[in-house]
Amino acid sequence: MRILWVEDSDQLPQELINQWFGEFYAQHQIERHNGFSDAYRCIQTQPQNYDCVILDINLENSEFNPQEFTESDIIFPKEKEKFLKESGFHLYIRLLYKGFPTQRMVFLTGNASEHNASEHDNSRVKLVNVFKQARDGDDEKAYVNCVKEIREKLPAPERKKFNDLLQTPHVEQLDVWLEQWATPFHTIGEPPKTDTYKELHDRFYEARMTLPRRIEKNAETAKTLQDWLHEHCSPQSQQRQTFDYLTLRRGMLDAIEAISRDDSIQCTADFENDLDKAAFLSGLAWQVRDFALPPTDYDKSYLAVCEYLSKPFERYFWKKNNNSKNSKDLLNESDRHLKMPLYFLRNWIAHGLIAGSNTTITAQAAGLVFLLAMRHFFSVENYGFQNELQRLFARPMTDPQEWNNCCTRLKQKFDKSGFSPLESLKEIGHKTSAGWEQQDFIQHFYAAYVLCLQQVDGSVLNAPFNGWIVGEISQ
């Protein structure tokens, strides 16, 4: 995902930043802005570029000229310093105006508490010392209690590392790691003199407005921030539906941007005369423009994506149509495993079988439709930044034997008297077919892909998306 981080301090060591964000720093796009003006312009013009936002409240180190915002509806106070000390709140208000969800914003600030971070640091040091004494003194009860307390204080991604170090016979490795955790860098800058968050919270309360969560810059920052990021940027999140939608959206937008910028990527021979690259990709990006879609509408968005991407496949025919010079005979087409599923999907959507049946289009299905279409339209395989789209899939099947077994099962399932498996799939896709309302056409979409993998000699083609699609097929 892409995360907007507004922080005006230029003295934060990279090691401290890495500690705060943990594994999320490498896995996701952290776009940092150092001042109010730059951040405001991004929020005003391109809020759809971000999935989560982290704001500092006090941006008094910013370069700021109110005359730059003459067309803005912000009423700036005469006292520049006073405004900048709470300008993070004005960015928050701007995001609300743009429809950005409160739960995906957080304040990361030193202006939220009068407590000195060293108090928290000392508590960690004491805990680690008690842990070592209990371990070295064979005090099992105290040892177990310390392990539990340390584990609870760690960010979710760090708990596995702690568990692994507990098992190592080299206790010095564990001790070094614990000492680094117990004595992190202190936040650069003066300690806050007032609780700005509390002051503004009271004002917002009077206006019946909700503020986002706050995270203080202290010894607990890494744990608290990473736990918050885990809620929104991890497939293990309890908000899995929202994670799936945002992951699909971000992965698609990243891939679309990369394809758009690369002039060496052009439409394949099948579509070079029918598709305008720029117009097609712009329209596709528009399908996932909404960064604040309610969960009840996710399936509608996925259907819109699938309809848009499968529509060009209406040019294909099951068998050669002699009345159309542009028709393609799918059964004898090369790369039919890319084309046949999208051909079927186009017909099923157009004739109302998807909407009227026992079919749920998921983010995973929409992602695979996107990957197949991009491969066929542009000969590219792009999953977005750090393979964003791959995070949608929980169980990719990478063993070729699993592909063979899946193909065999599907052949047995759809092999009916007088029809080949693919012909059976085609016949199911008509409203004249008995029981079509009970069919799951997304599973049939996956089946079409796998059945097309089988070669004349009986082997299964080793194609890029085999593992992801076989992993999505119900056993």
Full 3-state SS string of the chain: CEEEEECCCCCCCHHHHHHHHCCHHHHCEEEEECCHHHHHHHHHHCHHHCCEEEECCCCCCCCCCHHHHCCCCCCCCCCHHHHHHCHHHHHHHHHHHCCCCHHHEEEEECCCCCCCHHHHHHHHHHHHHHHHHHHHCCCHHHHHHHHHHHHHHCCHHHHHHHHHHHHCCCHHHHHHHHHHHHCCCCCCCCCCCCCHHHHHHHHHHHCCCCCCEEEECCCCHHHHHHHHHHHHHCCCCCCHHHHHHHHHHHHHHHHHHHHHHCCCCCCCCCCCCCCCHHHHHHHHHHHCCCCCCCHHHHHHHHHHHHHHHHHHHHHEECCCCCCCCCCEEHHHCCCHHHHHHHHHHHHHHHCCHHHHCCCCCCHHHHHHHHHHHHHHHHCCCCCCHHHHHHHHCCCCCCCHHHHHHHHHHHHHHHCECCECHHHHHHHHCCCCCCCHHHCCHHHHHHHHHHHCCECCCCCECCCCCHHHHHHHCCC
Does residue 185 have a pLDDT over 80?
A: no
Mean pLDDT of 274-281: 95
β pairing state of 29-33 and 52-55: unpaired
Q: Which residue has the tokens 């490795």?
A: 173
The arrangement of secondary structure in 2-113+191-233, i.e. its CATH architecture, is 3-Layer(aba) Sandwich (3.40)
What pLDDT sits at residue 192? Answer: 42
Which tens digit of pLDDT belongs to each residue from 215-273? 988 888 999 999 999 999 998 878 899 999 999 999 999 999 999 999 999 999 989 99
Mean pLDDT of 422-426: 90
Q: Which residue has the higher pLDDT, 243 or 124?
A: 243
Which tens digit of pLDDT belongs to each residue from 186-215? 443 434 445 677 777 777 777 777 778 889
What pLDDT sits at residue 445? Answer: 96
Q: Which residue has the tokens 């040019």?
A: 315
Residue pair 454/342 in contact by the 8 Å Cβ criterion: no
What pLDDT sits at residue 230? Answer: 94
Residue pair 127/149 in contact by the 8 Å Cβ criterion: yes
Mean pLDDT of 285-294: 93
- Tell me the pTM: 0.81
Domain ranges of the chain: 2-113+191-233, 117-182, 240-472
What pLDDT sits at residue 77? Answer: 61
What pLDDT sits at residue 184? Answer: 59
Other beta carbons within 10 angstroms of residue 328's beta carbon come to: 18
Which tens digit of pLDDT belongs to each residue from 35-67? 898 999 999 999 999 999 999 988 888 777 766
Residue pair 111/7 in contact by the 8 Å Cβ criterion: no
Question: Any idea of the CA torsion for 313, 315, 321, 322, to the nearest 10 degrees?
Answer: -150
Which tens digit of pLDDT belongs to each residue from 433-470? 888 999 999 999 999 999 999 887 878 899 989 999 99
CA-nearest of 455, 472, 453 to 464 is 453
What pLDDT sits at residue 378? Answer: 96
What pLDDT sits at residue 117? Answer: 42
Q: Which residues contact 233 (CB under 8 A, 6 or more apart)?
A: 1, 3, 24, 27, 28, 51, 52, 243
Residue pair 456/464 in contact by the 8 Å Cβ criterion: no
Mean pLDDT of 332-347: 90
Residue pair 270/383 in contact by the 8 Å Cβ criterion: no
What pLDDT sits at residue 119? Answer: 45
> What are the b/e assignments for 183-211, b being 16+ CB within 10 Å?
ebeebeeeebeeebbeebbeeeeeeeeeb
Confidence band of 19 (pLDDT split at 50, 70, 90): very high
CA-nearest of 114, 284, 132 to 194 is 114
Does residue 323 have a pLDDT over 60?
A: no
What pLDDT sits at residue 73? Answer: 61
